[in-house]
Amino acid sequence: SVTFDGEHQRNLGECAAYPTKWLAHYPHTKALAEQAVLDANSSDLATVALRPHLIWGPGDPHLIPRVLDRGSRNRLRIIGEGSNQVDMVYVDNAAQAHLCALKSLEIGSLISGKSYWVTQQQPVKLWDWINEILTLAGIRNVKSKVSAKLAYRIGGKLEFVYKVLRIKSEPPMTRFVAKQLSTDHYFDNSAARDELGFKPQISTQDGMLRLAEWIRNTKAD
């Protein structure tokens, strides 16, 4: 999110600049936090910033439950053509990347003062993946589509209404979410591989099997 400007991001490296305009506070505050961490790197303190993108897996309290809830109520729509590719990372692999950084981070080390994308190193088609999650839960796949432009306009209007009426909850659609769900965003992972020594230990396929078990157990409870 720290470099997301609403446009396609394909094989993006860590050297990409931060946006000059932000679609939401969420990516902006993330970028500010990352800058603070990297600025703190010095001859007395070694810092590194990891960028795990779209963390998912068993126990997820945010993304997976939201997808399942909206899917079960027929409230999901494909934004755009539905062919956009995104990078993501299984939760265990995100933790593994932190251990890699802990092992290598020292004052003056190769990774100090740098940021790194952390992903499965294998992009997926976002909406195919979402439908796979719905299938795991026995929920009908989403097929209906809304154009990316319409979703963006709806998001902007809802943001305005929520702001004027001082509604504290999050709108069902925002400009940021509309862009995130309709654009490519996948990254050049070579730095994490070569400098951090990070290689995902849990494949996306194995992660989905673990997720399926968690969904079954959650439904049983």
Catalytic residues: 26
Distance CA 183, CA 83 (A): 9
Q: State the amino acid at position 4 in one-letter form.
A: F
Question: Residue 69 belongs to what H/E stretch?
Answer: helix 63-72
Instruction: Look at residues 6, 9, 59 and name the one whose alpha carbon lies nearest to residue 28.
Output: 6
Calculate the CA 53 to chain-centre distance. Answer: 4
